[in-house]
Structure 1
Amino acid sequence: MYKFIILALALLGIDQGTKALIVSRLNLGDQIEVIPNFLYITSIRNRGAAWGILEDHMSIFYVITTVVVLAIVFAFYKYKKEHFTLHLSLSLILAGAVGNLVDRIRYQEVVDFIQTIWGNYYFPIFNVADMCLSIGVVVLMVYVLFGDKWNKKKSKQRGKYYFE
């Protein structure tokens, strides 16, 4: 379980480090082309969630993030013997939630900077924390849908199923 907390802390460090770099080196609206017509570093700020949802409602984000973090800590404790996939998903979600919470506390907005373009579609600009959240939720869904099919064994000590 501790290695997953370390993973979450490492991802949080990467998230906060990249955001600090963006804030210190780029002005708002500056753009750097990384891969022409596909990937750009674009410095923007977001006062809401994805696509600017709930803009300027910081108190909602504080409450939701606090509940999510507490639920993840509880899940780590309660399901400490569960499958790798569950712990991986929780680590990713924890890193993403805390990463954006730190921004909201520090800047009263979230620093976003990764911009992707696919043809004529401009995907909303995001950050490392957003990637962690998105990937973590997908991994959690995979675990919820298929987890009981992976290496299920009956524990003779507790009479419960667990994953190795």
Structure 2
Amino acid sequence: MKRRAFVFGLIVIAVVFALDQWTKQLAIDGLSNPFRVIEVTPFMNFVLAWNPGVSFGLFQGQAPWVMIAATAAITIGFCIWMWRTRDRLLRLALALVVGGAIGNLVDRLRHGAVTDFIDLHVAGYHWPVFNIADSSITIGAALLLIDSLFGGKKSVR
């Protein structure tokens, strides 16, 4: 049972990674030559942006190997946690975070920065441009928080 549950987590990781990489490539191909902005709705645009930092542009200017090593270590730790847990919500949350982290890690290795393209804006305020991996990490982190607050006592055996 544990193996099948872990395989579910691996499938979620693979789907998030594939969707993230596919949409990033679409953004690169469709928004870079010539550079353009596509208005999707009155509050959302597609625009190509490169983020050399972490979430929301934090830690820009840090040595890239530091971010790559940290991402790899966290990913390995979360995969071990995902293997050990019996809780479905926790497994899904971890898989979402890992899938997004791997997607952004591959961008750092390929391009030296993360490809972002979703631009949300309301009343002149622009949220930092993001991508599918960032969304997956955010949803996974929110589920981890929900699980920690309302999940009750659980065993990791």
Return the TM-score normalized by structure 2: 0.89
1:136 matched to 2:140: yes
After TM superposition, give the deviation of residue 52 of structure 1 in Å.
2.0
After TM superposition, give the deviation of residue 101 of structure 1 in Å.
0.2
1:9 matched to 2:14: yes
Say how many residue pairs are matched.
Answer: 149
Instruction: Could you tell me which runs of 5 or more consecutive residues in structure 1 were left unpaired when the two chains were aligned.
Output: 150-160
Find the counterpart in structure 1 of residue 3 from structure 2: none
Aligned-CA RMSD value: 1.7
Cα distance in 1 for residues equivalent to 2:89 and 2:132 = 20
**1:100 equivalent among 104, 114, 121:** 104
Cα distance in 2 for residues equivalent to 1:39 and 1:162 = 42
Q: Which structure has the larger Rg over C-alpha atoms?
A: 1
Paired residues for 1:86-125 under 5 Å? 86-125=90-129
Paired residues for 1:9-88 under 5 Å? 9-27=14-32, 29-36=35-42, 38-57=43-62, 58-79=64-85, 82-88=86-92
For 1:66-110, what per-residue CA distance to the aligned partner results, in whole angstroms no more than 9, with x for missing partners? 11111012112222xx22110110010001100000000000010
The one-letter code of the counterpart of 1:17 is: W
Larger relative helix fraction: 2
Return the TM-score normalized by structure 1: 0.85
Cα distance in 2 for residues equivalent to 1:26 and 1:98 = 23
The one-letter code of the counterpart of 1:105 is: L
Instruction: Among all aligned residue pairs of Structure 1 and Structure 2, give the percentage whose two residues are the same amino acid.
Output: 31
